Amino acid sequence: MTADDRMIELALQGGGSHGALTWGVLDRLLQEPDLRIQGVSGTSAGAMNAVVLADGLEAGGPGAAREALARFWRAVSDAALASPIQRSVWDRLSGQWSLARSPGYVWFDQLSRLFSPYELNPLNLNPLRDLVARQVDFDRVNRCTAVDLFVTATNVRTGRPRIFRRGEISVDAVMASACLPLTFQAVEIDGEAYWDGGFTGNPALFPLVDECAARDLVLVQINPFYRPGLPRTSREIIDRINEITFNASLVKELRAILLLRDVIEASGQEDESWREMRLHRIHGDEDLAGLEPSSKLNAEWAYLCHLRDLGRARTDHWLKRHGADIGVRSTFDLSWLIEDSLKPAGALGSGCAARGDAWGADAGASAAAPADAAVPRRAAKTGGGARRAGRGRRE
């Protein structure tokens, strides 16, 4: 690392095989010679990408990490060849990636609504667990100092997030982060049961804010905030409920970051100014919104490569447009998040338009289509690079 290196933190969402888009994002970022990934928080498929990334970085740097990610996703695709859930003949002929008309998908979908995984899979067999264990050296992951790693799961009994950090990350932690409760039995770790981390942090942002030195947080989003169509079938309704649920915790944490920043600036707390975050987003909204949610279970190699290439293209576009903004200003306009929430300090009675200058936002920004234009930040206070000592864990 040199003094001229740009430092970022990555927040990786879960989303099944759509995580291959995140693979493409990471693959492109790892090609930037002066860009250092200082921290990664991941949930579900995002957690898998995160541990593979850390494993590769520890094994041999960015080049080895790119190779590890490619091997992992190829192994996922090879394992799916034996799955009874495959695209229908019609979908193959029409070039659709959906599994909604797959007899195997429909059958398992109906079974999961009638029987729990404890009834359908009493032996708790999980081929994905075996695949992750083969592909990832967790001793190496926990030795990795090149990147701070955080994996989120949801405690079934308390409903609170559990963050697994360096020294705690195992194949069980990753599987807990990806444990959809209607598909898999809860994963037990040290006597506690865990479900998918997406319920409480998709992904968790607070470890990146509290425990990492970089002040540029890049969200890699694969669950769209907005879908133009109205769901009408029971499957469409369930799928949209899941998307909204898995984005809810993210929206709350983004709101908290904005409000925290405003409180710090309004109160002049110099010792807290380091917690100001510059927020960025790399996403595939337009491409992913056109895919049916069932495609998250499609692991055909051609499809995964298609998503990888989308991720690379999106990242290349973002780097060209906003690479120079790293370390300078936010590029993810989030003013729409606080339009129907707690108002920032001093904003009561002034309306949304008055917040436009405070947040560098377009007063007419729509929650349906949040813009990614550069957002000038206020003049930074001193002490922005310091890390807090003796912080407590929030789990």
Closest-CA residue to 140 (of 65, 239, 228): 65
Distance CA 294, CA 15 (A): 11
Distance CA 360, CA 379 (A): 12
Is residue 82 over pLDDT 80? Answer: yes
Mean pLDDT across the stretch 143-167? Answer: 97
Contact present, 242 and 255 (Cβ < 8 Å): no
Distance CA 368, CA 375 (A): 18
Mean pLDDT across the stretch 128-155? Answer: 97
Q: Who's near 64: CB < 8 A, 6+ residues apart?
A: 56, 57
Distance, CA of 81 to chain centre: 26
Q: Are strands 161-164 and 6-12 parallel, antiparallel or unpaired?
A: unpaired
Per mean pLDDT, which range of 6-10, 154-158, 241-245 is the poorest?
241-245
What digits encode the pLDDT tens for the residues 15-55? Answer: 999 999 999 999 999 999 999 999 999 999 999 999 999 99
Q: Average per-residue pLDDT in the chain?
A: 85
Tokens representing residue 43 in the block: 């949930």
Query: 375: which DSSP letter?
Result: B
Q: Which amino acid is at 94?
A: S
Determine if residue 351 is left, alpha or beta; phi over 0 gives left, psi from -120 to 50 gives alpha, anything else beta: left
For residue 265, CA distances in Å to 87, 166, 177, 323, 327 come to 53, 32, 35, 26, 18
Is residue 297 over pLDDT 80? Answer: yes
Mean pLDDT across the stretch 318-331? Answer: 95
Closest-CA residue to 43 (of 246, 221, 252, 198): 198
Q: Who's near 232: CB < 8 A, 6+ residues apart?
A: none
Distance CA 29, CA 359 (A): 27
H or E stretch at 41: strand 35-42
User: Could you count the other beta carbons within 10 Å of the beta carbon of residue 276?
Assistant: 20
Vertex 359 angle, CA 358 and 364, to 5°: 105
Q: Who's near 74: CB < 8 A, 6+ residues apart?
A: 301
Q: Which amino acid is at 298?
A: N
What digits encode the pLDDT tens for the residues 92-102? Answer: 888 889 998 89
Distance CA 388, CA 154 (A): 26
Mean pLDDT across the stretch 80-92? Answer: 90
SS3 category, 309:
helix
Place of tokens 């932690």: 173
Is residue 187 over pLDDT 80? Answer: yes
Per mean pLDDT, which range of 15-19, 153-157, 258-262 is the poorest?
258-262
What digits encode the pLDDT tens for the residues 164-182? Answer: 999 999 999 999 999 999 9
Contact present, 384 and 273 (Cβ < 8 Å): yes
Contact present, 196 and 204 (Cβ < 8 Å): no
Residue-wise DSSP of 243-280? HHHHHHHHHHHHHHHHHHHHHHHHHT-GGGGGG--EEE
